[in-house]
Structure 1
Amino acid sequence: MTIAIHVSGDAKRAVETHVPLLAADLVASGITAQDPALWGPAAEPEAAKRLGWTEAVSVSRPLVAEIAALREELLAAGVDHVVLAGMGGSSLAPEVITRTLGVELTVLDSTDPGQIRAALADRLESTVLVASSKSGGTLETDSQRRAYESAFRAAGIDPATRIVVVTDPGSPLETHARDAGYRVFLADPNVGGRYSALTAFGLVPSGLAGVDVGELLDEAEAISLNLADDGADNFGLILGAVLGGTSPLRDKIGIVADGTHIVGFADWAEQLIAESTGKSGKGLLPVVLDTESPELTESLADLQVVRLVDNAHAFHLREHHPGELLISGSLGAMFLTWEYAVAVAGRLLGIDPFDQPDVEAAKAAARALLDDRPAPEAPAFVDAGIEVRGTAAVVDGTDSVASAVEKLLSELPATGYLAVMAYVDRVAHPELAELRDLLAARAGRPVTFGWGPRFLHSTGQYHKGGPAEGVFLQITANASDDLEIPDRPFTFGQLIQAQATGDAAVLTEHGRPVLRLNLTDAATGAATLLSALR
């Protein structure tokens, strides 16, 4: 199976309007030929070094045997538990791949001390850590690697036998790994992180966990000719036209898993779309929905629904969901098709889909807070063990969590959205994700939900660089049992609080309404918060 797409309504009109023009302008073949001029002169310098993903299938082929050989070596040594330390593009694709193929992979994409402790306590004697960072300087990944190095040594295990590194050539992480004797897989430096699903970043952790990554590349290869062809049936052009070419623009993209065999694909697509398009006051906001989400019954004029289905289900759904785009396909084909489509959407929107100018701002703010570590800002008030802080327009005149949330929702523009950002252990408190549907039903507008700090490498770019129409609910928690970061002057608990505080500060500087709720006790606070908002 490769790809099947069905369009109707505004989506169909977008295809009819834009695909012939895109074909005539040789956009598909131009992307395949890595033509950096397709997105205009301002984008050309960045695009010139970010189109290597179009040849990822062929470039990655030699990795298949290398990964298989290392897996056999590890299994022979009794090492069968794979932990991935990575953020954003380094973790989202492997998570989708392994969940879809039914293979266990522990994804460590948090700085919450509880989540780190739980991972370290899980089968350390049979664990291999894959430390994955394109830049080689990702603070979260560096901290996680340090924790595992220390834990391995404390258990009498040589870290050189248990740590595998995936990074770009010449990065600080490569230098450290070579010096330490770790196994290193180098990725193509001409591929941005969010386009790296079919490179070493997606394949190494997945393959070590037990996925047949050669088959994944076969699936992508099967769609390659279609995606390179300047024709009306090019799936990348069709999907790209719907994402970026509806008129008026439906700039909220609701992604619904409805019968698809692919698990968690919307979370990967969320990063690809938001980080690629959310800049210069423009962008597409991906909203991960389920089949019962309130947004699907609100008839929102700015919401374009993309429903992920299987072929049989797609036929049944066609008459029931007019105006939506229905898409099905194999995982490898879907990765490559969406990468092409978002590049196409960037051209239609008039933005550079390969830079991320606002991602660094929150990182810089967090680093500054870690260097100075000022005393925490006093809360505006405390309600049932939840400390309430925020911008004046949100917290002034309120005295409860419920009233502060209501005030935040009142700040929503008519075309706005609410972002819930939970800097909390997502393994221990998955119930917090229930807030998304609760708040969507009350707001009558799209609501995104992101676990911090992982969303900073995803929708974080859109929140700062996209249209100024978001309001933000941030949830943090005091660490009940903090954890030192070896050879660092700060702990994991201090790191995640600095990341949250820095993010809130940057949003505030951008004039965004922010409400910060800090759970003084995460175990009881999550239940208290859910109860208050019901």
Structure 2
Amino acid sequence: MTYRLRIHVPQDESVDAAVEGLVEERFASRLFDEDGTLWGPEAESEASIRLSWVTLHESSRALVPDIVALRDDLRSRGITRVVLCGMGGSSLAPEVICAAAGVPLDVLDSSNPDMVRSAIRDLESTVVVVSSKSGGTVETDSQRRIFEQAFTDAGLDPRDHLVIVTDPGSPLDEEATAAGYRVFRADPHVGGRYSALTAFGLVPSGIAGADIATLLDQAGELVPELSANETGNPGLRLGTALGVAAQQGVDKVVLYDHDQHGLGDWIEQLVAESTGKEDTGILPVVAQSPDDPITADEFVAHLGTSEAPDRPWAAGVEASLGAQFMIWEVATAVAGRLLSIDPFDQPDVESAKAAARELLGGNASLPEPDHVGEVADIYGSSAATIEDAISALLEQVGEHDYLALQFYLDRWALAGLESLAPAVSGRISRPVTFGWGPRFLHSTGQYHKGGTPRGVFLQVTADPVQDVPVPGRDFTLGQFIVSQAAGDASVLRDKGRPVLRLHLHDVEAGLAAIKDALA
């Protein structure tokens, strides 16, 4: 499948000059030689062990026969439904790959009790891929424990229905290997958001039925062009457009996927988590429609196999999905160089995790609501109604700010809620992002806390219809997800970001009030 990319950003002399400078420095060839010095001495130690993604089109080929054999074995046993338990880089690429291939994959990237509970069905025909680079991701560990219990309760051997993907030597690797699970080990020298072509992207996609061998071929076909020190290099040009625009104050890229395969969501994580640090960065805004409102500090990337509109100043790239992964990874590395940041670390992701652990472990107390209501409790506002609280929050969105909508709800049951973002953007004439919690914590969460300090935040949590205990742990999923939201809010407030949290007791009435207030 060939994707067509159109970037509506002026290709002015500053972009051309920056590209020529990168060519003179041999940036492209040095990147593909895995030169960790490209981002300066402070980034060298991290970058030097995070560049194996440039050769994945070759090194990952050894995985393909084992993945295909496992897929065939599972199908021979009537196991055809694939559930992926993973967060961030462990789930976003497989979601795109399978959507583009037209094969079903249930991506369970949430700690929402109702969403997790709804995934526990058709167990005899289900295989669960548990993906965690660190081997200690709390959401993924909790999901694994819940599925293990569910399989056991159904009289099924979990070893026949769980597949593990992790880094070699991780706690999950050691535990799963000892328990007799099938384990695929990923390249430890590839960061999570660059792992589309590692075992994290290939195992669940291949088991689900996607043609992963062709995906690697697609990536490899473009490597000679991406590694060339030439001004027409599409990775250099895209990355330079992103970086130079951000330097000039156009620091938000609107991503519109004409085919709705989720490529924009994958790019969102890659770009936001890689560049959002040291009070700078590029904020991706995933659009719902090509007609979504655009502000002066945004430019547009049209993605998809469908026709994207041409403009006189548009930079165009036509490439397959595997090649698009490589183009955007190279471009992100280039943008990081121009912004003088390390595109391979994520210093602010751990802060929210630590705050959530403190709340969950009883080392800190959950905040008390500022107002207790029948429909919702309100945190971070003196207002007594949802409408007044949201109105007061919107007044805090300044002329250079963005609004982030964060819904810690069941994204399967409430699909389409993302349309709130363009609606409120049209009202306030500012960029608005939408994130499903806790999914976004492993994506744009880094940018929110470490990037350009211009965010205003609306969090929505809710009482679950039925909570889910986590086997072997002293907390439930309901307790965990509230701790995640409260922990992230605490870190954001410590950084001076305005945060309003609405905890819904009546989800239907609460969402109706939120929609009215945002309209």
Match status 1:355 vs 2:345: yes
Which secondary structure does the structure 2 equivalent of 1:388 belong to?
A: strand
Q: What's the CA shift for 1:238?
A: 0.8
Match of 1:286 in 2: 284
Q: Name the counterpart of 2:156.
A: 157
CA–CA separation in structure 2 for the residues paired with 1:374 and 1:215:
50
Q: Is 1:529 the equivalent of 2:514?
A: yes
Please list the CA deviations of residues 52-78 of structure 1 after superposition, one character each: whole Å capped at 9, or x if unmatched: 100111110011111000011111111
Give the alignment's Cα RMSD to 1 decimal: 1.8
- Aligned counterparts of 1:286 and 1:332: Cα–Cα separation in 2: 21
**Pairing partner for 2:430 from 445, 448, 451:** 445
The letter for the 2-side match of 1:380 is: D
Q: CA deviation at 1:524?
A: 3.6
Query: Partner of 2:300 in structure 1?
Result: 305
State the AA in 1 paired with 2:112. D
Alignment of 1:389-408 (within 5 A): 389-390=379-380, 395-396=381-382, 398-408=383-393
SS at match of 2:378: strand
**Following TM superposition, by how much is the alpha carbon of 1:431 offset from its aligned partner in structure 2, in angstroms?**
3.9
Give 1:249 deviation, angstroms: 3.5
After TM superposition, the score normalised by the length of structure 2 is: 0.96
| Equivalent pair of 1:362/1:506 in contact (CA under 8 Å) | yes
Amino acid at match of 2:297: D
1:478 maps to a residue whose letter is D
1:318 aligns with 2:318: no
TM-score normalised by L of structure 1 = 0.94
User: Does the residue aligned with 1:37 lie in a helix, a strand or coil?
Assistant: coil
Taking the aligned partners of 1:325 and 1:507, their CA distance within structure 2 comes to 36
Q: 516-525 vs 411-420, which deviates more?
A: 516-525
Of 89-98 and 515-524, more deviation after overlay is shown by 515-524
SS in structure 2 of the partner of residue 525 of structure 1:
helix
1:308–1:327 CA contact under 8 A, matched in 2: no
**How far apart are residue 533 of structure 1 and its match?**
2.9
Give the corresponding residue for 1:388.
378
Between the two proteins, the alignment pairs up a number of residues equal to 518
Contact 2:403 2:455 in 1 (8 A): yes
What amino acid does structure 2 have at the position aligned with 1:46?
E
Quick check: 2:95–2:105 contact (8 Å CA) kept in 1? yes
- The answer for the alignment partner of 1:275 in structure 2 is 273
Contact 1:14 1:241 in 2 (8 A): no
Q: What secondary structure does 2:79 align onto?
A: coil
Whether contact under 8 Å (2:111, 2:481) holds in the other structure is yes
For 1:162-311, what aligned pairs fall within 5 Å after superposition? 162-246=161-245, 248-258=248-258, 261=259, 263-296=261-294, 300-310=295-305
8 A Cα contact 2:275 2:447, kept in partner: yes
Give the drift of 1:328: 3.7
Counterpart for residue 519 of structure 1 = 504
Matched-pair contact (CA < 8 Å) for 2:53–2:195: yes
Q: Secondary structure of 2:268's partner?
A: helix
Give the aligned partner of residue 138 of structure 1: 137
Alignment equivalent of 2:359, drawn from 360, 366, 369: 369
Distance in 1 separating the partners of 2:184 and 2:11: 41
Cα distance in structure 2, aligned partners of 1:408 and 1:327: 40
Distance 1:215 1:454 in 2: 29
How far apart are residue 479 of structure 1 and its match? Answer: 1.4
Q: CA deviation at 1:477?
A: 0.5
Partners of 2:510 and 2:196 in 1: how far apart? 36
1:166–1:184 contact (8 Å) kept in structure 2: yes
Residue of structure 2 in register with 1:73 after alignment: 73
1:483 to 468, 477, 484: 468
Shift of 1:14: 4.6
1:358 and 1:377 map into 2 onto residues whose CA distance is 22
Aligned ranges 1:82-97 → 2 under 5 Å: 82-97=82-97
- Does the 8 Å CA contact 1:379/1:388 hold for their aligned counterparts? yes
Larger helix proportion of the pair: 1
CA distance in structure 2 between the partners assigned to 1:262 and 1:52 by the alignment = 29
For 1:229-271, what per-residue CA distance to the aligned partner results, in whole angstroms no more than 9, with x for missing partners? 010111100110111112513111111123xx56110000000
Q: Aligned letter for 1:225? A: P
Give 3-state SS (helix, strand or coil) of 1:255's partner.
strand
Tell me, in whole angstroms, the C-alpha distance in 2 between the residues paired with 1:241 and 1:448: 24
Whether the 8 Å CA contact 1:53–1:191 is kept in 2: the answer is yes
Indicate conservation of the 8 Å contact 1:164/1:183, yes or no: yes
Distance 2:8 2:454 in 1: 28
Q: Secondary structure at the match of 2:307?
A: helix
| Offset of residue 366 of structure 1 | 0.5
Q: Which runs of 5+ in 1 are unaligned?
A: none
Show the counterpart of 2:487: 502
Kindly state the Cα deviation for residue 139 of structure 1 after the two structures are TM-superposed.
0.4
Q: Deviations over 1:400-424 (max 9, x none)?
A: 2222212112212321101111111
CA distance in 1, matches of 2:299, 2:13: 13
* Structure 1 position 10, deviation (Å): 2.3
8 Å CA contact 1:307–1:325 kept in 2: the answer is no
The answer to whether 1:58 aligns with 2:43 is no
> Contact 1:411 / 1:471 at 8 angstroms: preserved in 2?
yes
Structure 2 CA distance for aligned equivalents of residues 499 and 399 of structure 1: 24
2:164 is paired with a residue whose SS is: strand
Correspondence list, 1:452-491, <5 A = 452-491=437-476
SS in 2 for 1:38: coil
User: Where has structure 1 moved over 4 Å in runs of 4 or more?
Assistant: 1-9, 322-327, 373-376
- Whole-Å separation in 1 of the counterparts to 2:366 and 2:358: 14
Between the aligned partners of 1:41 and 1:195, the Cα distance in structure 2 is: 22
Change (3 A) 1:222 1:415: same
Q: Is the 8 A contact 1:308 1:328 kept in 2?
A: no
State the distance in 1 between where 2:304 and 2:175 align.
Answer: 44
Describe the superposition over 1:468-517 as per-residue Cα deviations: whole angstroms up to 9, x where unpaired.
Answer: 11000000001121011001000010010110110111101111000101
Q: CA deviation at 1:37?
A: 0.3
Per the TM alignment, residue 439 of structure 1 is displaced from its structure 2 partner at its CA by 1.6
How far did 1:429 drift?
1.6
- Partner AA of 1:409 in structure 2: L
What does residue range 426-437 of structure 1 map to in structure 2 within 5 Å? 426-437=411-422
Deviations 1:85-112 (A, max 9, x none): 0000000000000011110001010001
Q: Quick one: structure 1 residues 385 and 57, their matched pair in 2 at CA, closer, same or farther if it must change by over 3 Å?
A: same
